[in-house]
A and B are shown apart, each in its own frame.
Chain A
Amino acid sequence: MWKGINTALLGRHGYNRQIGLRKASRARLFKEYKEVQREKVADPDIQLTCDDNNIFKWTALIKGPSETPFEGGVFQLAFAVPEQYPLQPPQVRFLTKIFHPNVHFKTGEICLDILKNAWSPAWTLQSVCRAIIALMAHPEPDSPLNCDSGNLLRSGDIRGYQSMARMYTRLAAMPKKG
């Protein structure tokens, strides 16, 4: 009795809140959309676009940061935004193949704390893109999703890591030259 009596009561409020949240996240996403249009020139490394039919689906093209093996590449990200956004983080993954210790080589899943427990509602899709660019420049080999890549870095084989990463950047993230 004492523990958890309120589950039934919660359910009663649940439905309306869901609609409310959806509305709030829509409004916020719409604001972000407008902001993105304005910032396009300010941040040429990020190009965020919203799906024409679904404001909860976004894609982004980000430029590989300079002085990294990803330089010169353009990487595509897919965003799936939950209804509780921005109280809960969007799901983001790489659509472009990338050789990076914190990105799953097959699925493109990203291991980044702000997309999990360190998420704050003050983040935006744009700032998430910036955080991902920062991650590309500063990999965290100790929590690898790509073990090969993580092991190269951890064993100190920076050169091996860079050449692999550069190869995949050339193969997957650069426009094919005719």
Chain B
Amino acid sequence: MEDFLSDDDYYDSGRDSLDGLENEDSGPQWVPSKGPTCKVITKESLLAAQREDLRRVMELLSLREHHARTLLIHHRWDVEKLFAVLVEKGKACLFKEAGVSIVEHRDLDAPPPPTVMCDICIEDVPSGETTKMECGHCFCNSCWTEHFIVKINDGQSKRIKCMAHKCNAICDESVVRNLVSKTNPDLAEKFDRFLLESYIEDNKRVKWCPSTPHCGNAIRIEDDQFCEVECSCGSQFCFSCSSEAHSPCSCLMWELWVKKCRDESETVNWITVHTKSCPKCHKPVEKNGGCNLVSCICGQAFCWLCGGATGRDHTWSSIAGHSCGRYKADREKKAERAKRDLYRYMHYHNRYKAHTDSFKLESKLKGTIQEKVSILEEKESKLRDFSWVNNGLNRLFRSRRVLSYSYPFAFYMFGDELFKDEMTNEEREIKQNLFEDQQQQLEANVEKLSKFLEAPFNQYDVDKVMETRMQVINLSGITDTLCQKMYECIENDLLGPLQLGIHNIAPYRSKGIERASELSVCWGDKVNNSGKPLPPHCGSTADPLLMLGGTTESDQPSGSGSSDETGYAPRKRAKTNVPGGGRFDLNLPADVVDRN
């Protein structure tokens, strides 16, 4: 919110003077309140990403890594919650609930018996072929192995329990890994990956990037789950529902909209309601008017309701030579309704699509506009700063997005599907007027902005270029403010606090969707330099996990395997540097960024 206000203030003061606006171009855009809040987690940095959480738990409770992992998996990687349970219920309870056994069963004093009876296969097995888990239960290795295989294949890698009656203990991951890898190395690898990926799968702060083909990354956010993010692969998505970024449309509305657009039944409905095939020549015949007697171009008259051939004479309710048992008034109403619904849908869909389409076209325009700029740059010596062109273009993209998604929003906000009983017709009308007023203002200014940017300003004289520049800067400010206002209107005037729990909408970000920054990873070092000698066990379990990143990256030309040991994730893509200095950090569509 603070960000919005400062932006608002900014534009209010900036509109008066050109210099003020110029500052916008060159000066710092805003003061980020908390710094970048979302991070890209690549397969290389996945282990490092969880290191920090692991380290905190390990240090506070002086635990081994696998115990810390078991605790964290149990508490869905919510370190704060884990610590709260610790304070509230105590260590013993925390461990017991998560299935961590810290009691060491050291029977080293007494020499083990030569054979042990395994309670699972009821077989006497040489002691060397048995394994005692930390909970103290001992079974033969082949029974353990089979148990692990069944559990891993069941997708329960993250919580493989001991085989004994009522024993809640989670099996030591290194035992699982060692035993399984002897007979089934592929499965052991799968087990490792499941453990690692728990950090993504079981963590409400982390989500896979939904790109297809999958870029392999996940995104971690710090606080607000209702936000839109951009992965380093360029794909932008709604963190809350993992579909494309769709604000100011809510997740629920977007889901319905996508389904509706995919589902052509509405069109099909219309066709079945509005055309029938002639009983004689089988051509589809469209009905017009309220009369149920229709005639085909072949000359055949037939009854609209049952499709049966008839004579020609008729009144409103009866048709000569034909007695129709199927006439029902509400059938007619249904048809009317279907038609109305379809027209309504088409109205919103057309506008939604028009903006999406122009958004795509304008992405292509980016290239030609760049050319215009370079022509101007050569020609004019007085005008050197053309950042306003890029800024205007980026503002245009941003506003088009907002405009485009505002149509599905309006479709549901003022339709019967979601809010029929939430407001009276009068209320709906008032709200709709309010919203459409804003929408139209935004639309008009966006089109103006688009027109100025498309104009052949490279052929203009200096004064006219200055004029265009002022218009573009001015319109950029106006559209930004209007977008901002639209989100505010939705939040405050349309949905209200009650609906906001159901219809969550990512806040408007003037600068565009936040681009997740790559995780700067140095926790791997921190763990080792923390002064505390780590149990030797830790190093040995971490290794196979670390290697995982290196073994599956054949699709990575940038060869990053060597950096695994330090835990530093390589900066894979330099494309985040958008021409124009990247200062005006608006999101561009992925394909444009790629081309640049």
Contacts and interface: CB of A to CB of B under 8 A. Distances in A.
Is B a genuine binding partner of A?
yes
Contact of B119 (A6, A24, A122): A122
Contact of B121 (A1, A28, A88, A123): A28
B186 A6 contact: yes
B190 interface: yes
Nearest to A1: B555
A17 interface: yes
A38 interface: no
Interface stretch (B9-17, B143-151, B252-260, B361-369): B143-151
B119 A27 contact: no
Nearest to A12: B186
B189 interface: yes
Contact of A1 (B119, B143, B166, B216): B216
B184 A13 contact: yes
B85 interface: no
Contacts of A84: 150
Contact of A122 (B149, B153, B164, B214): B164
A123 B122 contact: no
A1 B208 CA distance: 13
A135 interface: no
Interface in A79-118: 84, 86-88, 118
B552 interface: yes
A2 B216 contact: yes
Contacts of B120: 28, 86, 121-122
A120 interface: yes
Interface in B112-128: 119-123
Interface in A1-53: 1-3, 5-6, 9-10, 13, 17, 21, 24, 27-28, 31-32, 35
Contacts of B153: 10
Interface centre among A32, A84, A86, A122, by most B CB within 10 Å? Answer: A122
Contacts of B197: 3
Nearest to A2: B216
B167 interface: yes
B34 interface: no
Contacts of A10: 153, 186-187, 190
B146 A24 contact: yes
Given A88-B150, A120-B166, A121-B147, A6 B121 contact: no
Tell me whether chain A's interface is mostly helix, strand or loop, or mixed.
Answer: loop
Given A13-B184, A120-B164, A120-B165, A2 B122 contact: no
A24 B118 CA distance: 13
Contacts of A87: 146-147, 150
A33 B371 CA distance: 86
B569 interface: no
B563 to A, nearest CB: 18
B40 interface: no
B190 A6 contact: yes
A122 B190 CA distance: 26
B163 interface: yes
Interface string B126-170: 000000000000000011001101100100000001111111000
Contacts of A121: 120, 143, 147, 163
Contacts of A88: 150
Given A1-B555, A2-B214, A123-B165, A31 B150 contact: no
B51 interface: no
A53 to B, nearest CB: 23
B163 A120 contact: yes
A17 B197 CA distance: 27
B427 to A, nearest CB: 45
Nearest to A28: B121
A3 B216 CA distance: 9
Given A13-B184, A21-B146, A24-B121, A3 B165 contact: no
Contacts of A122: 119-120, 163-165
3 tightest A-B CB contacts, nearest first? A31-B122, A9-B186, A87-B150
17 contacts: A1-B555, A2-B193, A2-B552, A6-B189, A10-B186, A24-B146, A27-B123, A31-B123, A87-B146, A120-B161, A120-B162, A121-B143, A121-B147, A122-B120, A122-B164, A122-B165, A123-B165
Interface of A: 1-3, 5-6, 9-10, 13, 17, 21, 24, 27-28, 31-32, 35, 84, 86-88, 118, 120-123
Interface of B: 43, 119-123, 142-143, 146-147, 149-150, 153, 161-167, 184, 186-187, 189-190, 193, 197, 213-214, 216, 552, 555
Given A1-B213, A122-B165, 7 more contacts: A2-B43, A6-B186, A10-B186, A10-B190, A120-B165, A121-B163, A122-B164
